[in-house]
Chain A
Amino acid sequence: MIAYTLRSLAQAVMVMLAVALLAFSMFRFVGDPVANMVGQEASLKERAELAERLGLNDPFPIQFANFVRDMTRGEFGMSYRQGRPVADLLRERVPATVELAFLSSLFALVFGIALGVYTAINRRGILANAVMSLSLVGVSLPTFLIGIGLIYLFAVELRWLPSFGRGDVVRLGWWSTGLLTETGRKSLIMPVLTLGFFQLTLIMRLVRAEMLEAMRTDYIKFARARGIPERSISFRHALRNTMIPVITIAGLQFGSVIAFAIVTETVFQWPGLGALFVQAVQFVDIPVMAAYLMFVALVFAVVNLAVDLLYFAVDPRLRGTTAAAK
């Protein structure tokens, strides 16, 4: 158990370091850090001094070590574009993105499972086939088109929902949430739908495929032979066994949902990390890009670790083979 945990932890750290290396390379090789911080009137002497101060003359490994040390202390440097500490920017924007990502994952999970089960059970039904076709159309629609369409319908034509932003948010410490105000909740509806849609189709098809597989296995056939009612078979037996891979995948997807939010946030002018990242790319604001990368890597590493541990707890086969290489 301990060895397993340690190994997972070690892998997580490796991933973080690899991403840090990438982020650091961006800093050093993309554009000239000195030129980015100093004006055209600066003399050569001033530039040399700045280079020394920034530690640009140290050997590469030392610079990298300093970089990693700064990151762990939460110092991500100053944004080239806004002239503010990147850490502040991140802190401001994280709640918006996390709230959006979490709610859309929840939405996708709940409806994805429900629809997946439905279409698996009623394999030949008309409604089920319609849902499957619609899901295919959904996968072919780029996220931003869905967003534009929703805004056009619900904000411009019908005027039911706000067309941009988070509405009024309530601050709780350094967090801010839109769930406690009416405009906040209304503002969440369309972005959550847009962001969750792709995931929903994914989960739905996964659940359907897994359930169909499960329905064909021997133990289900025996259960049917024994006379257990179909309903009980579907839900108590087949569904339960599909939950593990589904939840695993949904969990793993959470990290990527955070990044997927980039497009949704841009379309709805949602003040989150994704919109911040797109701006950073447009302005070549390297510190922000690097910090965002580290954040996503962190989420990915944490989620992967959690899933590994969850697997270990749930799958008895793993426990007996800790000695064997995974």
Chain B
Amino acid sequence: MRLKFSALMLGAAMALVATAADARAVKWARAADALTLDPHGQNEGPTIAFNGQVYEALITRDNANKLVPALATSWKLVDPTTWEFKLRQNVKFHNGDAFTADDVVFSFQRALQPTSDYKGYLANTKEVVKVDDHTVQLKTNGPNPLVADNLTTVYIMSKKWAEANNATKPQDFKNKEENFAVRNANGTGPFVLVSREPDVKTVVKRNDAYWGRGEAPLEITELTLTTIKQDATRVAALLSGEVDVVQDVPVQDIERLKSSPNLRVTEGPENRSIFFGFDVGSKELASSDVKGKNPFADVRVRQAVNVAINRQAIQRVVMRGQSVPAGSIVGPFVNGYKKEYDNVGQPDVGKAKGLLAAAGYPNGFSVSLHCPNDRYLNDEAICQASVGMLGQIGIKLNLLSQSKSLHFPALQNLKSDFYLLGWGVPTYDSDYIFSYLYHTREGTRGGWNATRYSNPEADKLIQSLSNETDLPKRNATITQIWDKLLADQVYVAIHHQMLAHAMKNDINVPVRPDNIIFFKDVAFKKS
């Protein structure tokens, strides 16, 4: 009742101020919830997508993937190792605090702390300096052309608020710590947090003092995020009108929803690849029946897996056509991608068995596969199908399927021998993939490299990317790195994801490759 009342009040106030169109509350459904409201706690899709309604970064991308100003109005290089950002004026946080350079300095430093999951975005930062109340400089170790691209998901918090509420350190998610920012939020964004019930319902209401009021339609008065894990229930809720927007449409229902007269379906490719990772570094695998050595340390075993996975079958049956079979974990949107990386042949059981035999495992072996069951499209089904496919070449998989909130910590705590993971690239550059997934685990890099892969040569080349301003040279280095890494087959890519959103007819939400819906841009169509 209290929610309806406040929505009513807001609606009335809006009717006086708003120009055209009706304004109303929107119910938004996803398969899984944001893991935390701490903007630097978990670098994960739904978490970023939700926090992006309440918090903002200095720079963001528009629907054409171009960088556009958000909290920074302009940015430029003042010298090869210094970027200067001019901050937007007259912006206030939800609690009334003014947004200044202090907050930017604080947020970046917070994102660089050991417990932050966003360190990778600021890798190579030497220091962040306040020049004046509305100017900030970011100094890097060596010239770095991509700083601006890396900042689109590093959200800005209020220093005063964080200090007052003991939230100056980011949440240590994998160790289940909690701080005030986990369930409370104070950002500059178009929506203000009203209430949060994890895994049930989170409500935000329109920020009437939002600085972007004029630019964005901001017609949604109240936004409720509901978590509906079961695919069928989620779709049923949309069909019956209980929710207005379903962001994760299960592939088996796309056709049915398209043929529904009151609904609209939008589709598009996602900037995300799904792949298997192996523990290549340990002496022995914890979950395998092979003692004394690690089968995955042998590249032939990994190649055998690569050749045995039937991507076409997965695309056709599991994904119902909604995927693009992949040969590497870099997707078409990302700088450094080459079409030939995705030349996957047909699966070849004979060849795979031969490779295994050559590596010394003619009878295969057994190992556990860690799989999330609520994060990627049909993740559990993909893993189940793989059990069959790898079973054919003699690798007996013990499937451990669990929620992402158990799966991700297991990876980050290096507890898995063989796992499924998906990776999106918000910076649209291969460096992001290298830094998080291939670089040796140390310092700000390798945070999600659960393979224990460590290649010092590759590391050096990867680090050089941050300082290379000559773009053609840089791209050549990227190709060099990919050639090395792909030969080592550290990961076995499965496919690049495709997305579909479904919504009521009067809403039009396009699919963005980063799978974020900016609800401030929703304008209700009058039919």
A40–B239 CB distance below 8 A: no
B97 interface residue per 8 A CB criterion: no
* Stretch of A97-105, A107-115, A165-173, A237-245 at the chain-chain interface: A165-173
**Minimum Cβ distance to chain A for residue B223 (Å):** 16
Interface residues of A in 29-70 (CB under 8 A from B): 36-40
- A165 to chain B: which residues have CB within 8 Å? 226, 242
The distance in angstroms between the C-alpha atoms of A74 and B231, with both chains bound, is 37
* Stretch of B116-124, B340-348, B398-406, B425-433 at the chain-chain interface: B398-406
Given A82-B198, A269-B230, A271-B200, decide whether A159 and B240 contact each other with a Cβ distance below 8 A. Answer: yes
The distance in angstroms between the C-alpha atoms of A164 and B176, with both chains bound, is 29
Given A84-B178, A271-B200, decide whether A40 and B413 contact each other with a Cβ distance below 8 A. Answer: yes
A40–B242 CB distance below 8 A: no
B526 interface residue per 8 A CB criterion: no
**Minimum Cβ distance to chain B for residue A299 (Å):** 23
Nearest residue, chain A, Cβ from B239:
A156
B1–A163 CB distance below 8 A: no
Nearest residue, chain A, Cβ from B415:
A40
Nearest residue, chain B, Cβ from A282:
B403
A80 interface residue per 8 A CB criterion: yes
Given A80-B176, A165-B226, A271-B200, decide whether A283 and B2 contact each other with a Cβ distance below 8 A. Answer: no
Nearest residue, chain B, Cβ from A79:
B176
The distance in angstroms between the C-alpha atoms of A249 and B240, with both chains bound, is 39
Interface centre among A82, A92, A171 (most CB of B within 10 A): A82
B178–A163 CB distance below 8 A: no
Interface residues of A in 230-263 (CB under 8 A from B): none
The distance in angstroms between the C-alpha atoms of A86 and B121, with both chains bound, is 35
B242–A163 CB distance below 8 A: yes
Interface centre among A159, A162, A168, A269 (most CB of B within 10 A): A269
Interface residues of B in 174-203 (CB under 8 A from A): 174-178, 182-183, 197-200
Nearest residue, chain A, Cβ from B414:
A40
- A156 to chain B: which residues have CB within 8 Å? 236, 239-240
Contact with B along A148-179 (1 / 0, CB 8 A): 00010001100100111100101100000000
**Minimum Cβ distance to chain A for residue B183 (Å):** 8
The distance in angstroms between the C-alpha atoms of A213 and B199, with both chains bound, is 51
- B239 to chain A: which residues have CB within 8 Å? 156, 159
B233–A164 CB distance below 8 A: yes
Given A159-B239, A283-B406, decide whether A181 and B1 contact each other with a Cβ distance below 8 A. Answer: yes
* Set A80, A84, A162, A168: member contacting B1, Cβ < 8 A: A168
The distance in angstroms between the C-alpha atoms of A38 and B229, with both chains bound, is 29
B174–A164 CB distance below 8 A: no
The distance in angstroms between the C-alpha atoms of A154 and B403, with both chains bound, is 30
A81 interface residue per 8 A CB criterion: yes
A269–B233 CB distance below 8 A: yes
Given A164-B233, A168-B4, decide whether A39 and B174 contact each other with a Cβ distance below 8 A. Answer: yes
The distance in angstroms between the C-alpha atoms of A93 and B468, with both chains bound, is 55
- A83 to chain B: which residues have CB within 8 Å? 176-178, 182
A164–B228 CB distance below 8 A: yes
B176–A36 CB distance below 8 A: yes
B237 interface residue per 8 A CB criterion: yes
B44 interface residue per 8 A CB criterion: no
- A82 to chain B: which residues have CB within 8 Å? 198
Nearest residue, chain A, Cβ from B173:
A83
The distance in angstroms between the C-alpha atoms of A283 and B199, with both chains bound, is 14
- B240 to chain A: which residues have CB within 8 Å? 155-156, 159, 162-163
Interface centre among B177, B239, B240, B413 (most CB of A within 10 A): B240
**Minimum Cβ distance to chain B for residue A156 (Å):** 5
- A78 to chain B: which residues have CB within 8 Å? 178
**Minimum Cβ distance to chain A for residue B126 (Å):** 25
B237–A163 CB distance below 8 A: yes
- B413 to chain A: which residues have CB within 8 Å? 39-40
- B242 to chain A: which residues have CB within 8 Å? 162-165
B149 interface residue per 8 A CB criterion: no
**Minimum Cβ distance to chain A for residue B133 (Å):** 36
B521 interface residue per 8 A CB criterion: no
* Set B182, B199, B233: member contacting A163, Cβ < 8 A: B233
- A155 to chain B: which residues have CB within 8 Å? 236, 240
Nearest residue, chain B, Cβ from A171:
B2
- A162 to chain B: which residues have CB within 8 Å? 237, 240, 242
B267 interface residue per 8 A CB criterion: no
The distance in angstroms between the C-alpha atoms of A168 and B224, with both chains bound, is 12
B172 interface residue per 8 A CB criterion: yes
B226–A39 CB distance below 8 A: no
Contact with B along A258-288 (1 / 0, CB 8 A): 0000000000010100000001001100000
**Minimum Cβ distance to chain A for residue B360 (Å):** 31
Nearest residue, chain A, Cβ from B114:
A41
B402–A37 CB distance below 8 A: no
Given A38-B175, A83-B182, A269-B230, decide whether A170 and B1 contact each other with a Cβ distance below 8 A. Answer: yes
**Minimum Cβ distance to chain A for residue B175 (Å):** 4
**Minimum Cβ distance to chain A for residue B48 (Å):** 20
The distance in angstroms between the C-alpha atoms of A98 and B405, with both chains bound, is 29
A283–B405 CB distance below 8 A: yes
Nearest residue, chain A, Cβ from B183:
A84
- A279 to chain B: which residues have CB within 8 Å? 199
B1–A151 CB distance below 8 A: no
**Minimum Cβ distance to chain A for residue B174 (Å):** 7
**Minimum Cβ distance to chain A for residue B224 (Å):** 11
**Minimum Cβ distance to chain A for residue B246 (Å):** 13
- B198 to chain A: which residues have CB within 8 Å? 82
Nearest residue, chain B, Cβ from A161:
B240
- B2 to chain A: which residues have CB within 8 Å? 171
- A92 to chain B: which residues have CB within 8 Å? 197
The distance in angstroms between the C-alpha atoms of A282 and B413, with both chains bound, is 19
Contact with A along B475-507 (1 / 0, CB 8 A): 000000000000000000000000000000000
- A39 to chain B: which residues have CB within 8 Å? 172, 174-175, 413
The distance in angstroms between the C-alpha atoms of A311 and B334, with both chains bound, is 75
**Minimum Cβ distance to chain A for residue B233 (Å):** 5
Given contacts A36-B176, A37-B176, 19 further A-B contacts (CB under 8 A): A40-B413, A40-B414, A78-B178, A80-B176, A81-B176, A81-B405, A82-B198, A84-B178, A159-B241, A162-B237, A163-B237, A163-B242, A164-B242, A170-B1, A171-B1, A180-B1, A269-B228, A269-B230, A283-B406
28 residue pairs from A and B, CB less than 8 Å apart: A39-B174, A39-B175, A81-B176, A81-B405, A82-B198, A83-B176, A84-B178, A92-B197, A151-B233, A151-B236, A155-B236, A155-B240, A156-B236, A162-B240, A163-B240, A164-B236, A164-B242, A165-B226, A168-B3, A168-B4, A180-B1, A181-B1, A269-B229, A269-B230, A269-B233, A279-B199, A282-B403, A283-B405
7 pairs of A and B residues whose beta carbons are closest in the complex: A83-B178, A39-B175, A163-B236, A156-B236, A170-B1, A271-B200, A159-B240
